[in-house]
């Protein structure tokens, strides 16, 4: 082995160790973010429905003001952590490697989606604050409707985020087949969520379908986060004279 080869392997190994660290850190951020989002959604009262009328909705929000403030903030925290997770995924792959373009597109979709989630959480906080201040029921209902319609608008970029993410991660060798299947399930589920435009019932913006559909994305993210460190460790460092092995380096 030449001197250059001997020096290259420790440097590559150190880079690989750094990437393992970042993949674990990203996985922890994803799990924390998804748990924050799930807890936040679970804190929304089940009887806070648009179909019951603005005055009844305002009364419900007024009773649960504190927990709804917390729910909105948890949604924002979850959005930020998920965006960070997707940024790490995109940065783990070099531009010349398979999957890089797809993961960059996926990152763009994630940023759009989580921006809409944050805007929706902002509508929620304004609505709850207005209800606590005895605002008219019609105004409260308008704000609450804006919250759910914002989530509805996020369905399309979520589909882009998940579909391109599945393709990119598969090409990069960072997603087991069963995890990819969960990603495709999430993409398909959001097609159904885009149809939730009725005024009441299960196909309303605040109905059961629109509420549960994001859980498919949560399952995919959690599965990806859990398997990512192991998938990354399974990649091998390229060595001089061994062109068959993929290069593993940290890039931004």
* Terminal alpha carbon distance of the chain: 31
Residue range(s) defining the domain that contains residue 108: 3-233
Query: The dihedral of CA 212, 213, 218, 219: what is its sign?
Result: positive
Q: Could you identify the residue written with the tokens 């998920």?
A: 82
Give percent of the chain above pLDDT 90.
47
Residue 246 lies in a domain: no
Residue 185 lies in a domain: yes
Number of domains, the chain = 1
Residue 239 lies in a domain: no
Alpha-carbon distance 86 to 51, whole Å? 36
pTM value is: 0.78
pLDDT in tens, 44-100: 988 888 888 889 999 999 999 999 999 999 999 999 999 999 988 888 888 888 888
pLDDT of residue 109: 93
β-pair partners for 239: 242
Distance of CA 141 to the CA centre of its chain: 27
Residue 18 lies in a domain: yes
Alpha-carbon distance 115 to 113, whole Å? 5
Q: Could you identify the residue written with the tokens 């994803």?
A: 30
8 A C-beta contact, residue 237 and residue 11:
no
Alpha-carbon distance 168 to 16, whole Å? 20
Residue 243 lies in a domain: no
Residue 122 lies in a domain: yes
- Residue 242 has φ and ψ, to the nearest 5°, of -125, 70
Residue 250 lies in a domain: no
**DSSP assignment string, 181-236:** HHHHHHHHHHHHHTT--SSSSTTSTTSHHHHHHHHHHHHHHHHHHHHHHHHHHTS-
pLDDT in tens, 125-180: 999 999 999 999 999 999 998 988 898 888 899 999 999 999 999 988 888 999 99
Residue 242 lies in a domain: no
Rounded alpha-carbon distances, angstroms, from residue 155 to 30, 36, 158, 166, 205: 19, 20, 5, 16, 12
Q: Which two tokens stand for residue 128?
A: 């709850």
Q: Could you identify the residue written with the tokens 């009441």?
A: 200
- Residue 113 has φ and ψ, to the nearest 5°, of -60, -50
């Amino acid at each position: 082995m030449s001197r250059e080869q001997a020096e290259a392997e420790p440097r590559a190994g150190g880079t690989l160790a750094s990437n393992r660290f970042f993949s674990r850190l990203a996985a922890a951020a994803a799990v924390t973010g998804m748990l924050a989002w799930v807890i936040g959604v679970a804190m929304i009262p089940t009887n806070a429905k648009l179909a019951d009328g603005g005055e009844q909705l305002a009364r419900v929000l007024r009773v649960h003001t504190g927990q709804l403030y917390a729910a909105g903030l948890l949604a924002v925290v979850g959005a930020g952590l998920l965006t960070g997770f997707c940024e790490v995924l995109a940065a783990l792959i070099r531009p010349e490697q398979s999957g890089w373009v797809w993961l960059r597109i996926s990152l763009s979709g994630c940023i759009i989606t989580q921006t809409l989630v944050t805007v929706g959480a902002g509508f929620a906080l304004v609505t709850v604050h207005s209800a606590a201040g005895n605002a008219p029921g019609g105004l409260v209902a308008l704000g609450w409707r804006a919250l759910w319609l914002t989530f509805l608008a996020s369905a399309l970029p979520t589909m882009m985020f998940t579909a391109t993410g599945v393709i990119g991660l598969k090409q990069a060798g960072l997603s087991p087949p069963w995890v990819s299947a969960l990603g495709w399930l999430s993409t398909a589920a959001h097609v159904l969520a885009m149809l939730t435009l009725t005024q009441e019932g299960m196909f309303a913006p605040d109905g059961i379908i629109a509420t549960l559909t994001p859980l498919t994305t949560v399952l995919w993210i959690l599965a990806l986060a859990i398997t990512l460190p192991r998938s990354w460790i399974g990649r091998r460092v390229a060595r001089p004279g061994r062109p068959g092995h993929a290069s593993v380096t940290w890039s931004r």
